[in-house]
Amino acid sequence: MQAVPFALTTARAPRAGVAYRLRLVLLASVMALSFAAVAAPAVTEAHATQAQRIVRIAKTHLGAHFLMGATGPRYFDCSGFIFRVYKQAHLLPRIGGGRMTAAGYYHYFKRHGKANRRNPKVGDLVIYLHKGKIAHSAIYIGHGRIISALINPWGVKVTTVRGIHVHLLAFLHVNLQR
């Protein structure tokens, strides 16, 4: 019997032909997925930038509840959320090294010339005013969105920079690896 090339061996009995074609489709699908995985490998934790780590860690806390003064993992206030995310990413020195209030973060970054209202980058902190006082902090995650711990009933949630009802004061530029 002469060997027939793999792609041309579909001429079989009618019942076996359907099963054979299904096996070919399955094999082709597996091969395509394998080639796709090689062509576009996923970003692993070891290869993630600092900014990617911050966003990934922050999103793991989505849905956690708000509790004033809490630093997680199930309850947060806005600055406690920032503290926890940067601590988990081993990047606390980038935001002053310790737990601060939203006002504390703002004053620390302002003293170091890293606070303004322009050009936010992924991982930067966002500070808000309410009735003239510093009232809220968040993490910028790109494309005009932030993630923060909001007062009940929302808890940790993704919103737009202008999607909360307080006034934007400044972006605090963390200078992460991006």
What's the confidence (pLDDT) of residue 79? Answer: 98
Q: Closest by alpha carbon to 77, among 51, 56, 105, 49?
A: 105
Structural domain contains residue 106: yes
Helix (H) or strand (E) holding 87: helix 78-88
* 3-state secondary structure (DSSP) of residue 29: helix
Q: Are 60 and 147 contained in the same domain? A: yes
Q: Name the nearest CA neighbour of 124 among 65, 62, 169.
A: 169
Looking up residue 130, the CATH number of its domain turns out to be 3.90.1720.10
Question: Residue 71 forms beta bridges with which residues?
Answer: 76
Q: Is the pLDDT of residue 170 over 60?
A: yes
Distance CA 55, CA 68 (A): 22
Q: Are 85 and 166 found together in one domain?
A: yes
Verify that 120 and 71 share a domain, yes or no: yes
Handedness of CA 29, 31, 35, 40 (dihedral sign): positive
Q: Are residues 154 and 98 in the same domain?
A: yes
Structure tokens at 112: 């170091």
The reply to whether 4 falls in a domain is no
C-beta of residue 138 within 8 angstroms of C-beta of residue 49: no
Residue 54 inside a domain? The answer is: yes
Give how far Cα 28 sits from Cα of 3, 6, 33, 35, Å. 21, 12, 9, 10
Q: Confidence class of residue 16 from pLDDT cuts 50, 70 and 90?
A: low
* Spatial distance between the Cα atoms of 174 and 76, rounded to a whole number of angstroms: 21
Mean pLDDT of 123-150: 97
Mean local confidence (pLDDT), 32-46: 45
Instruction: Kindly state whether residue 66 falls inside one of the protein's structural domains.
Output: yes
Residue 126: inside a domain: yes
Q: Is residue 44 part of a domain?
A: no
Looking at the structure, do residues 57 and 110 belong to the same domain, yes or no?
yes
Tokens for 146?
A: 């932030």
Residue 51: pLDDT over 50:
yes
The domain of 98 spans 50-172
Residues 30 and 93 in one domain: no
Q: Tell me whether residue 75 is in a domain.
A: yes
Same domain, 22 and 89: no
pTM, entire model? 0.75
Q: What is the DSSP letter of 175?
A: -
In a domain, 90, yes or no: yes
pLDDT for 37 beyond 80: no
The pair of three-digit structure tokens given for residue 61, joined into one six-digit string: 């806390």
Q: Are residues 97 and 56 in the same domain?
A: yes
Domain count, the chain: 2
79-131 pLDDT tens trace: 999 999 999 999 999 999 999 999 999 999 999 999 999 999 999 999 999 99
| Residue 119 tokens, joined | 């050009």
Do 78 and 29 lie in a common domain?
no
Q: Are residues 105 and 28 located together in one domain of the fold?
A: no
The pLDDT of residue 21: 56
Verify that 148 and 78 share a domain, yes or no. Answer: yes
Same domain, 108 and 165: yes
Q: What is the pLDDT of residue 153?
A: 78
Which residues does residue 133 pair with via DSSP β-bridges, in sequence order?
130
Q: Output the pLDDT for position 6.
A: 38
Tokens for 143? 């494309």
Across the chain, mean pLDDT equals 83
Backbone angles phi, psi at 159, to 5 degrees: -140, 180
